[in-house]
Amino acid sequence: MNKSKIEKFTRQVIDGMYKHYDYIVEDFSFIQGTSIPWGLSKTLADGTKTFVIFMTLEMDTLNEFFENEICVKINCDRENLIKVILIDKDLESVGNIKALQNNFIILDLVSKKIQISESNMEPIASQIASIMDYNTSSQNGQKNTIVTYTLIGINIFMFILSAILSGNVMDIKTGVLVDLGAKYNPAIVQGQWFRLITCVFLHGGLIHIAANMYSLYAIGPLIENLYGKYKYLAIYLISGIISSLFSFWFSAYVSIGASGAIFGLMGAIFIFAFKERKRIGKDFLTNITSVLVINLFIGLSIQGIDNFAHLGGLLSGVTFGLIMSHKKKI
């Protein structure tokens, strides 16, 4: 891996530690042999200051003399100096691992994983790992979107069909929606249970579908990458069905829309953010919570919105999130 890529990758980790874990970015360019001109520092609860320095694995730098030299220049004790050693080769082929003294973390640039760290380095090693996971998820999320775009495509197709049949894109006729599979209690009582899922792909107007599809576009790729396409699809569809059941049980009105399924997705990602708040930072949890609260408030403030469907979808997503978090740590 060339120097520019190493510096870019390290900068991403440093930026993440600054944003999510309250580290201060330090300029270590005056220290010869570090390879990376930036580092981190953080004042701990006991008042001591920890420094984190990033460096490549080089024989002439990994020794006690070099560590002492760094500590003198940045005015810290050796026990407060953490070394993040960047490698891009098999550990077995690296001959100078034994030259490391203490307080070190080995970061594999190829697999982007923590390979070796001392037990007392576990907290910061976990933080660095979470930043790398977050960056990887963000990058992969742009690629793993096949289910999201397929769902958006189906919704748009059904909206175009309903608009053509209604002769209006702003306000779809209720009769058309019922004919296409809206949640209509008398029909469901007669055995048309398919309406519990078909209604999820129908919308009442251009603003309605635009709002829902924007929400799906915004959070779908992240959840698709996080849980995988099959679990993601299961969360969406089952949350949609549960939201329709809640509407069927508690509301006599005709109901349509993907918002119940989308609330299910938000419920699942909320559980993930809560469970992993120490690893990925509280900002993500705060953002997800804000989106949920705002959407719930909007639902309660505007007439005609099926809040029972939203509640059912949310509870379904939360349940999925709890089940998946117990089975596998994401």
Active site residues: 259, 310
Helix H or strand E segment including 22: none
Strands of the sheet containing 104-108, edge to edge, are: 24-27, 38-43, 49-56, 81-87, 104-108, 113-117
Separation between Cα atoms, residue 107 and residue 129, nearest integer Å = 9
Q: Which residue has the tokens 């209690």?
A: 185
Structure tokens at 103: 């307080």
Query: Where are any strands of DSSP class E within the chain?
Result: 24-27, 38-43, 49-56, 81-87, 104-108, 113-117
Of 158, 155, 188, 184, nearest to 261 (Cα)?
155
Q: Which residue has the tokens 């697999």?
A: 111
Contact in structure between 199 and 182 (CB atoms under 8 Å)? yes
Contact in structure between 20 and 100 (CB atoms under 8 Å)? no
Task: Sort 109 into a burial class: Cβ within 10 Å, 0-12 / 13-18 / 19+.
Answer: middle
Q: Which residue has the tokens 């190493």?
A: 6
Of 301, 277, 279, nearest to 287 (Cα)?
277
